[in-house]
Amino acid sequence: MRATFLSIKLIVFIGLILLFVNCTKQVKTDNKHTEDLKIIGYVAGYENYDIAKVDATKLTHINYAFANIVEGKPKFELDIDAIKISKLIALKKVNPNLKVLYSIGGWTWSDKFSHIAAYPEAREKFAKSSVQLMKKYGFDGVDLDWEFPGQRAEDNAFRPSDKENFTLLLAEIRKHLEKAAIADKTHYLLTIASGADQAYIDNTDLAKAQEYLDFINVMCYDFYNGWFYQTGHHANLYPSEKEKFKGNSGQEAINRHIKAGVPANKLVMGIPFYGRQWSKVSLNKDGLYQTAMTTGVIVPYWDIIKKIKSGNFKKGYDNSAKASYLWNAIDSVFISWETPKEIKLKTEFIKEKGLGGAMFWEYSLDKDQELLNALSKNMK
């Protein structure tokens, strides 16, 4: 009887040790993941913003936007580009681990992607010149922001074969990046910004495309945007119970990418440093999911803070969607916006899902770094 009791005590003791070891291993794994999380900030060259104010200590990557496509090659078209790029590259002195990429395309300059991706010779020309431009300025990689393959966007060319051609284009760029990597004894990054809706998934083959990519920046914003004469959350984390018709959310956007075949750790969740504002809104339900006489225009975060100080805006929160909004009943103005509260919830979501980190658009829209500080703090 005593021997049995001692045996039980021994088994319990061993079990507690194993439990402690397993818990310790889990903590180490979680910490490792947290250390690897990316904070990627887009910096728009066309914005009137002093690059010297960029806080490189809070970023792991910077994407400089944008290069246009001219005669089949990426090209910087602004007079100020070279100066701003050199200042960004100089930030590596502050943060030696910082990676600086340049982004090609964007909403306006995605009009020629379909053409350069359609033919082998055009793909090779574009890929070679992309690597040459990267090396000329000292970038660490290339980011493609093709909006949107296979779909009508801002007066862009598109064709059904974009789905296959997009992957072929990425494969060609990766091939030439690898050649440069062998010669330079380093690794060059290739990333994309992807759409958040099902149409983007349907018009791309992300399961194959991701094989050539280091990670994918999912644009989890603009769910209600400049095409909508109706208000709504433009970057809600979860679906809203208040929404009458099926909308979108960050959770659904990420799940679509995972279902499409992209590993979770290759997905970077996009966060907006701006809001969307509608005017002449119907005076019901504090303006949420109501018709408006204007579409949702972009409002920088710093400008929203300024508007709140007028005292005319009432703060609202949709708990089901985890999204904040503002309502000005006097002028019938509705604003969907991102706050530090949403930033915290999204960083928790990123960690829970095992994602690769967070991306934001765009640095100058949060000039006092309130959102960036929240992102940096909560990501750690």
CA–CA distance, 28 with 264 (Å, rounded to integer): 19
Query: 90 in helix, strand or coil?
Result: helix
Q: If you compute the radius of gyration of the chain from its CA atoms, what whole number of angstroms results?
A: 23
113, 119, 122: which is closest to 144 by C-alpha? 113
**E-strand stretches of 125-233:** 141-145, 189-194, 215-218
Q: What is the DSSP letter of 147?
A: S
Amino acid at 97: N
CA–CA distance, 193 with 209 (Å, rounded to integer): 12
Assess whether 211 carries a catalytic annotation.
no
Active-site choice (71, 124, 147, 172): 147
CA–CA distance, 377 with 380 (Å, rounded to integer): 6
Query: 168 in helix, strand or coil?
Result: helix
Per-residue tokens: 13 = 């003791």
Q: Which residues are catalytic?
A: 147
